[in-house]
Amino acid sequence: MVVGMGPPPTAKNGPTPAIDRIAVPQRSDPCLDSRRSGMLSRPPPGHRMQFDQLDRREFLTLLGGVAAAWPLAVRAQQANRMRRIGVFMPGLADDPEGQARNAAFLQRLGELGWIVGRNLRIDYRWGGGDLEHYHVIAAELIALSPDVILALGYSIVSALQKATRSVPIVFASVTDPVGGGLVASLARPGGNTTGFVTSEFGFAGKWLELLKEIAPRVTRVAVLRDSAVASQIALFGSMQSVAPSLGVELRPIDTRDPSEMERAVAAFASEPNGGLIASTGAGLMLHRELIVALAARHRLPAVYAYRSHVISGGLISYASDQVDHFRRAAGYVDRILKGEKPADLPVQAPTKYELVINPKTAKALGLEVPPMLLARADEVIE
């Protein structure tokens, strides 16, 4: 029987003959005198035990004893080995909103025992709103062999799924993962992807209601959206279903080309009683400053899907708490790192919504914020 362990070490007095089989041990070997008792004795000084003097049963017994004595500390070290997470965000690395979300994610991971540099490594990728480049970034991230990937937005998750069907993916914010084909169902996602939805489609109608509440004269509303994302079409349809009851006419404007978006908003604002709704999506986040500036320049009351727009000078926002999404996503990442599968983790709905109002912007637009609306605000930007 061939032994697949390579040749034995060379003895001091010359090379040991190559071994191609295990020989029956000789009784005269002093190292094996006590084998009848089931124990291997310590060899006398100067004696070198030859591997061919161990029979197969004794060799396996010896290996079993070594495995049983494996230090517990080493086993624990293996259990807490360095794990690797990929994070793929649509914006820019210096975006304050992205940094706030990432900070919440890291804080919750730390509370769960995952510390960067100790037992965790994180590889970040920022899309910069360049959807055409998402597939390249996704492939680069998968090539790093992460244990799990945290992703933000439909377009990024879609690009990652095309790159892998095995690496677990947790999305922190997607509007319609079922309709977009990212998961089989909310309760049973299946595959390698799960996460947290931004809102339900009926939520989009709330934006129109808020716009009419703060600017009752509005009868025409431009809806900024990314037409390439299927969920944006569904959100627009949801707004259309309530627009007639509010006496509002909608006009979609695509955000993929900033110059074209700027021209379209200017043309829309040339007629009176206009308002604006900035929906969700990478383009809306990336061009935040431009969108807020356009609303101010053309004196358009606007409702936004992100708090960051109001921080930048926008009028009002209403949406689920994005920072909370990332905090909760850390919990799913933790469970996956501990052995659970994305297919078994249901997609979860938002638990926290926030209404943010900027009274200074309202005053600049000649609007008076209704006291009841101001009282409902979770945050007032002074």
Number of H helices, E strands in the chain: 14, 12
Which pLDDT belongs to residue 131?
79
Which pLDDT belongs to residue 96?
84
Beta strands 169-174 and 220-225 are unpaired
Give CA–CA dist 129/139, Å, rounded: 17
- Among residues 94, 74, 81, 341, which one has the least CA distance to residue 194? 341
Which pLDDT belongs to residue 228?
74
The pTM is what? 0.74
CATH 2.20.25.90 fits 201-321+352-380, yes or no: no
Q: Tokens in use for 261?
A: 């978006």
Helix (H, G, I), strand (E, B), or coil: what is residue 380? strand
Specify which residues 196 forms β-bridges with.
348
Specify which residues 122 forms β-bridges with.
85
Question: What residue ranges of the chain are covered by domains with CATH 3.40.50.2300?
Answer: 81-198+323-344, 201-321+352-380
pLDDT in tens, the chain (382 residues): 433 444 444 444 444 344 333 344 444 444 444 444 444 444 454 444 444 444 545 544 544 554 444 444 433 443 468 999 999 998 888 888 889 999 999 999 999 999 999 999 999 999 987 878 999 999 999 999 999 999 998 889 999 999 999 999 999 988 889 988 999 999 999 999 999 998 776 778 899 999 999 999 999 999 999 877 777 887 888 899 999 999 999 999 998 889 999 999 999 999 999 999 999 877 888 889 999 999 999 999 999 998 999 999 999 999 999 899 999 999 999 999 999 999 999 999 988 899 999 999 999 999 999 999 999 999 999 7
The helix (H) or strand (E) run that includes residue 161 is helix 154-163
Which pLDDT belongs to residue 201?
66
Residue 378 CA, chain-centre distance (Å), reads: 26
Give CA–CA dist 208/310, Å, rounded: 17
Which pLDDT belongs to residue 304?
96
**Could you tell me the maximum CA-CA distance found in the chain, to the nearest angstrom?**
109
DSSP 8-class letter at 70 = -
CA dihedral 265, 271, 276, 282 (to 10 degrees): -10
Which pLDDT belongs to residue 80?
62
| Residue 160: Cβ within 10 Å count | 27
H runs (alpha helix) in 164-229: 204-214
Q: Which CATH class is domain 81-198+323-344?
A: alpha beta
Specify which residues 170 forms β-bridges with.
150, 194
The helix (H) or strand (E) run that includes residue 258 is helix 258-268
